[in-house]
């Protein structure tokens, strides 16, 4: 899978925390109904692994990634549950090597020019930018584009609806992520209709700025 091309097409990746694996498939269906084609399930809850596996094995048209991957030892688990890509808030050589050996696409995190160059030198040119709002948001993406145009980013962290157009205007943006569409509370409440409604509204903003 060409992760960069796929993310550019998708444009938005909801960042999800699931506390009950029974909610995984209804959540996936609600997101698909809202026009979303990808999900990042973070390893911040005990139900994360089972949730990823349920979605990955369901056959639903939703690419599923595993988030908050911080150690090389986690990579085999990511593969076992069927994750199609991994996301890390940072980058280490051992993590990058483990993902390459497992043929698991990795979106490593970087927030300084040196971190970006280290990831590029290791062979990763599509990077997570987190927490985006604290490090300058779209303005940071525009600033880094000049000296390091070969890097592409997926910002997450504090992105509001009113920020979306500015992010999508950045040529070095592959996709962006947030938890606004499917918050932990909405998932726990099983408010699938609200999640679908939010997804449709957000994707309308995305497609107005970046038509397929």
Per-residue confidence in pLDDT tens, the chain, 212 aa: 799 999 999 999 999 999 999 999 999 999 999 999 999 999 999 999 999 999 999 999 999 999 999 999 999 999 999 999 999 999 999 999 999 999 999 999 999 999 999 999 999 999 999 999 999 999 999 999 999 999 999 999 999 989 999 999 999 999 999 999 999 999 999 999 999 999 999 999 999 998 87
Identify the CATH assignment for 3-209 out of 3.20.20.70, 3.40.109.10, 3.30.470.10, 3.40.50.300: 3.20.20.70
Strands (E), 1-148: 12-16, 38-42, 63-67, 85-87, 106-107, 126-129
Name the pTM for this structure. Answer: 0.96
Residue count of the chain = 212
Give the side-chain half-sphere CA count within 13 A for 89. 10
Taking alpha carbons only, the member of 163, 149, 150, 200 closest to residue 31 is 200
Hey, where are the domains in the chain? Answer: 3-209
Question: Which residues are the active-site residues?
Answer: 40, 128
The answer to whether 41 and 65 are in contact (CB under 8 A) is yes
Q: How high is the pLDDT of residue 162?
A: 92
């Amino acid at each position: 899978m060409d992760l960069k091309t796929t993310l550019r097409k998708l444009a938005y990746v909801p960042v999800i925390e699931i506390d009950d694996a029974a909610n995984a498939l209804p959540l996936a269906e609600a997101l698909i109904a809202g026009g979303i084609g990808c999900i990042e399930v973070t390893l911040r809850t005990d139900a994360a692994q089972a949730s990823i596996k349920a979605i990955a094995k369901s056959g639903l048209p939703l690419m599923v990634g595993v988030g908050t991957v911080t150690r090389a030892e986690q990579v085999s688990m990511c593969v076992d549950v069927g994750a199609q890509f991994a996301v890390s808030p940072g980058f280490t050589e051992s993590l990058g090597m483990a993902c390459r050996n497992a043929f698991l696409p990795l979106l490593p995190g970087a927030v300084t020019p040196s971190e970006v160059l280290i990831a590029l030198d290791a062979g990763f040119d599509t990077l997570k930018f987190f927490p985006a709002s604290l490090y300058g948001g779209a303005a940071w993406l525009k600033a880094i584009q000049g000296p390091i145009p070969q890097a592409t980013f997926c910002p997450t962290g504090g992105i509001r609806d009113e920020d979306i157009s500015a992010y999508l205007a950045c040529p070095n943006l592959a996709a962006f992520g947030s938890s606004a569409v499917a918050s932990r509370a909405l998932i726990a409440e099983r408010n699938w209709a609200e999640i679908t409604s939010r997804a449709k509204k957000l994707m309308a903003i995305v497609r107005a700025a970046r038509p397929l």
